Structure 1
Amino acid sequence: MGTFLSITLILLALTSAANSCLPSDRAALMAFKAALHEPYLGIFNSWAGPDCCHNWYGVSCDPMTKRVADINLRGESEDPIFEKAHRTGFMTGSISPAICRLNRLSSLTIADWKGISGIIPPCIANLPFLRILDLIGNNITGEMPTDIGRLSRLTVLNVADNRLTGTIPRSITNLSSLMHLDLRSNQISGTLPTNFGKLRMLSRALLSRNRLTGSIPFSISYIYRLADLDLSFNRLSGPIPEGLGKMAVLATLNLDGNRISGKLPTTLLNSAISILNLSRNAIDGNIPDVFGPRSYFTAIDLSYNLLRGPIPKSITAATYIGHLDLSHNHLCGPIPVGSPFDHLEASSFVFNDCLCGKPLRPC
């Protein structure tokens, strides 16, 4: 009986060991945790015991290999821990390079903690299975890893709302699987890579509120799947590539708050774009008289530019225009009658040279 009990206990121990995480993965997680300080919620209290694959907050393992596959730590969550504390999370510290020892990691989300600082460990570029890297809403500084283009499986790269500096790594255009790129609200400078169009799987490119300079690469128009492009509030100059208006699924184009010059491409006004914001630039010349049934804008903002001439009469042929702002230009002549002008207010037309007609003064 004693021998049977001993064998049973040995088998149970072996089964438990087979179903728990690797000691090396656990050690990497503990080193990662040691570099962080979370004083309010106690989310790391569950990081105890030998098996990091079960009931460790924010940690998931591959059921086949028992290797750590996902780390999901988000400071704004509907998790009961957050609801009970009646607060969002606040964490300080830094992202330890120990994270790179988890070489089967598929997703890494350390988001919305506000106080996490330090750099993105360059060794993250060595994680061959990484698909999601989401570090939004922290206080991370330094540059993006130079070799980030080595992450051939990466589909989501989100480092928005940090304090990253330096330039966009040239290797980023090697991310052939990338679908979502979000670099908003950092201090990234330099130019956009001329071969940005190599990111053929990209559907969203959000790069607003940085310090980007130079011109908009024409190659962006080669990204067939791109639906949302936001380059607003940078220091971009030069003309708008005509190819942007020929893109099959581009629905939102925000280029406001730059130093863009040249003419307004005719292609933009008779395209698939529904939200077009080109305000606060130096675009000159006439507004092309090319609106038609394909023109369907929930919002079009051309304010604070150097546009001249009349408001094109073809705009009444647009299928729909919800919001229109032509203020702060040098437009002149009568405001056309009919839709969409019958529902627009004077603020859409003020501070032009000599516009007249409803809702402004009579001609």
Structure 2
Amino acid sequence: MSRLTFVICLFAAAFVALAAGCPASDREALLAFKASLNEPYLGIFQTWSGTDCCRNWYGISCNPTDQRVADINLRGESEDPIFLKAGRSGGYMTGSISPSICNLDRLTTIIIADWKAISGDIPNCVTSLPSLRVLDLVGNRLSGRIPPAIGNLRKLTVLNLADNDLTGDIPPSIVQMSSLMHLDLRSNRISGQIPSDFGKLTMLSRALLGRNQLTGTIPSSIATIYRLADLDLSMNRIGGCIPEQLGEMPVLSTLNLDCNAISGQIPGSLLSNTGIGILNLSRNSLEGSIPDVFGPKSYFMALDLSHNNLKGKIPGTLTGAKYIGHLDLSHNHLCGPIPIGEPFERLEASSFDSNDCLCGNPLRTC
């Protein structure tokens, strides 16, 4: 066969595939997926008709070369015309996620988000989808455990399971997800400890695990995640001390550890790190004094150290910071005069309430 003949045959095969539309097996898998769900207001599944699921099926996209289903993108909050036509900004869907979704073995994206009432388990078989890059199931009522073999998804960059009712622990295999950049497990009932080797997730930029029932301590290996900018472990049951290494992270800008059982002293490296702009350590059992390590490059949009057992004076170096926006030192055991100058001259008394013997503006005179 000549090269020209080969190219002609290749184009002919591609044309036949395009003309035929999506394979019958993909269409059947989507219809089985649809059968386990009920969406009563928008009529999005009414668009799922005809033999070609690659054309005009709401939320479905196909690979243009082979017409295999590549993306399922069903968001319950959208400005899409189908929402506007129904006079709604959000949708409501009940039912469960059928394991038939796993028959779509070329999927790169699964977004079934913000439908409020989709329940049941996450099908374990999703961990067998070799090309999956985005798994976003936020804002439903999913229960059960995160699939134990989630680490098989080596190409996954986004895992968002927030705002559901998931239980069990964080699977140890999660650290095998070498491409993961965004992890959001907030607002579930996930328990157990954060894997000690969490630092193997070297591509991670956001780790959001707040509002769960996590216990144990903060793994020091987290500090080795060079790209990590946002770490939220708030509203859990985490104890132990804050690893000193967290303050040495070069990209970390937001750290929320509030509402835990963390003890020990505040590492000076956290307060002297000029990249951290939001730091919330409130409602823990932190002790000792506030490290006097602020400088002309210190820039905190929010610094909350309230509801701890901190003692001593308010650091005078805070007045030399480049910027301190919100500052809350209330409900501690601080004593002595409040420093004069920025940011103290614009703060209200609530920032200093319920300490042992603080004095000066905006409290009583010393």
Matched, 1:276 2:279: yes
Partners in 2 of 1:298 and 1:233 — Cα distance? 21
Partners in 2 of 1:207 and 1:262 — Cα distance? 22
Q: Could you tell me how far 1:65 is from its partner in structure 2?
A: 1.6
Letter in 2 for 1:152: R
User: What does the per-residue CA deviation read over 1:242-295, in whole Å, with 9 as the maximum and x for residues that have no partner?
Assistant: 111111110000000000000010001111100000000000000011111231
Matched, 1:211 2:213: yes
Partners in 2 of 1:39 and 1:362 — Cα distance? 64
TM-score by length of 1: 0.95
Equivalent of residue 192 in structure 1, options 191, 194, 208: 194
User: What does the per-residue CA deviation read over 1:201-223, in whole Å, with 9 as the maximum and x for residues that have no partner?
Assistant: 00001111000000000000000
What pairs up with 1:61-76 in 2 under 5 angstroms? 61-76=62-77
Question: Using a 3 Å threshold, how does the CA distance of structure 1 residues 310 and 16 change in structure 2: closer, same or farther?
Answer: closer
Partners in 2 of 1:59 and 1:178 — Cα distance? 24
Gaps of 5+ in 1: 1-10
Equivalent of residue 248 in structure 2, options 235, 242, 246: 246
Equivalent of residue 107 in structure 1, options 91, 106, 109: 109
Partners in 2 of 1:17 and 1:265 — Cα distance? 61
Partners in 2 of 1:109 and 1:188 — Cα distance? 21
What is the match of residue 323 of structure 2? 320
Two-structure CA RMSD over aligned residues (Å): 1.1
What is the match of residue 335 of structure 1? 338
User: What does the per-residue CA deviation read over 1:144-184, in whole Å, with 9 as the maximum and x for residues that have no partner?
Assistant: 00000000100000000000000000000000000000000
What pairs up with 1:164-179 in 2 under 5 angstroms? 164-179=166-181
Partners in 1 of 2:119 and 2:56 — Cα distance? 27
Say how many residue pairs are matched.
351
TM-score by length of 2: 0.94
What is the match of residue 128 of structure 2? 126
Partners in 2 of 1:248 and 1:361 — Cα distance? 40
Partners in 2 of 1:65 and 1:15 — Cα distance? 10
Partner SS for 1:347: helix
Partner SS for 2:131: coil
User: What does the per-residue CA deviation read over 1:1-23, in whole Å, with 9 as the maximum and x for residues that have no partner?
Assistant: xxxxxxxxxx9xx8476440011
What pairs up with 1:281-360 in 2 under 5 angstroms? 281-360=284-363
Equivalent of residue 156 in structure 2, options 151, 154, 157: 154
Partners in 2 of 1:228 and 1:137 — Cα distance? 20
Partners in 2 of 1:191 and 1:42 — Cα distance? 42
What is the match of residue 85 of structure 1? 86
Letter in 1 for 2:173: S
Q: Could you tell me how far 1:342 is from its partner in structure 2?
A: 1.0
Equivalent of residue 226 in structure 1, options 225, 228, 233: 228
Letter in 2 for 1:65: D
Matched, 1:258 2:244: no
Letter in 1 for 2:69: V
What is the match of residue 3 of structure 2? none
User: What does the per-residue CA deviation read over 1:91-127, in whole Å, with 9 as the maximum and x for residues that have no partner?
Assistant: 1100000000000000000000011000000000000
User: What does the per-residue CA deviation read over 1:272-322, in whole Å, with 9 as the maximum and x for residues that have no partner?
Assistant: 100000000000000011111231100100000000000011111211101
What is the match of residue 100 of structure 2? 98
